[in-house]
Amino acid sequence: MGKYKKFSETRAETIILDEWVEMTWTPNNKKYYESLGYKYTKTRERFMVKSCDLPPGSQKIVSVMCPICKRISNQKYQDITKTGHTLCAGCANIMEMSGIRIGRLVFTELNMEMSKNGVMWWDYICDCGNTGTIRRSNVIAKNHTKSCGCLAEEVVGSIFGENHYNWNPQITDEQRQHTRRYPEYKQWVKDVYERDQYTCQVCGDSRGGNLQAHHLYSYTHYPKKRLKLENGICLCETCHNNFHVWLGGYSVVCTKGDFDRWLKDR
């Protein structure tokens, strides 16, 4: 897709795919095009013109490409000359975030492969050293993401376990982990939902009560990854079930590689 360039470069960039366009001779355009070297034939006869030779106020529709997301669309030539670019509507409204810090995250550049349909994903580096990619909407919302997940782990570590108000000393650690009825797990689910904005990351479903937090590396077989935020993804009940059916059942060991292959096979 190409590397993202800051708006200082893209704001003035036009990509017109139509090198030549068909026009019709009229008394109004005869003098203009003759001055550019085009040979007049007769009124109402069609002729070919280089798109770069169109007058600034031309209503001619030309095929263009957005310099950021590479989306192809049709625009009036006069609109291109007025704006000075061929950015699509979604990319024209992108907030420049390169170098901006929010919480522990410093944003580096727009991730072109993941960004599409007006949903922008930015690469970042966290103060703890981790790198990753996050949706722009996740960091500009009121309760925005503030770290790669390391901040939540620190907070969770200070209030969970025996320090939590709902701690039940009559239940063993093994029982808590088997049933998943322990505060750390409930907080992990909440963190996954909040990071993914309570939206299925496969189909976009955001209906209340229909969401589940899926472990990319299965809960049972990868105990050290159980409460890692990066090991979770928000799915709707249907997508979650479809994945495990594809895999062979809920008891089958799953990994992120399995999930990626399922996405390609869908």
Within a 10 A sphere around the Cβ of 260, how many other Cβ atoms? Answer: 11
Q: pTM of the full predicted structure?
A: 0.43
Is the model's pLDDT at 176 over the cut of 50? Answer: no
Instruction: Give helix 256-265 / helix 237-247 axis angle, nearest 10°.
Output: 100
Nearest Cα to 4, choosing from 73, 87, 117? 87
Mean pLDDT calculated for residue range 123-132: 84
- Give the separation between CA 11 and CA 13, rounded to whole angstroms: 6
Query: Closest Cα partner for 127 from 95, 149, 156, 153?
Result: 149
Helix, strand, coil content of the chain in percent (nearest 5): 35, 20, 45
- In 3D space, the residue among 64, 68, 69, 94 whose CA is nearest the CA of residue 79 turns out to be 64
Q: Is 73 left (phi over 0), alpha (psi -120 to 50) or beta?
A: beta
- Which residues make beta-bridge pairs with 135? 121
Per-residue pLDDT reduced to its tens digit, 80-103: 998 888 888 777 766 667 788 888
Residue ranges per domain, the chain?
7-91, 95-145, 149-266
Tens digits of per-residue pLDDT, 52-67? 999 999 999 999 998 8
Q: Pick the more confident residue, 52 or 112.
A: 52
Mean pLDDT of 244-266: 90
Which secondary structure element, helix H or strand E, spans residue 193, and what is its range?
A: helix 183-195
Mean pLDDT, the chain, rounded, equals 80
| pLDDT for residue 163 is more than 70 | no
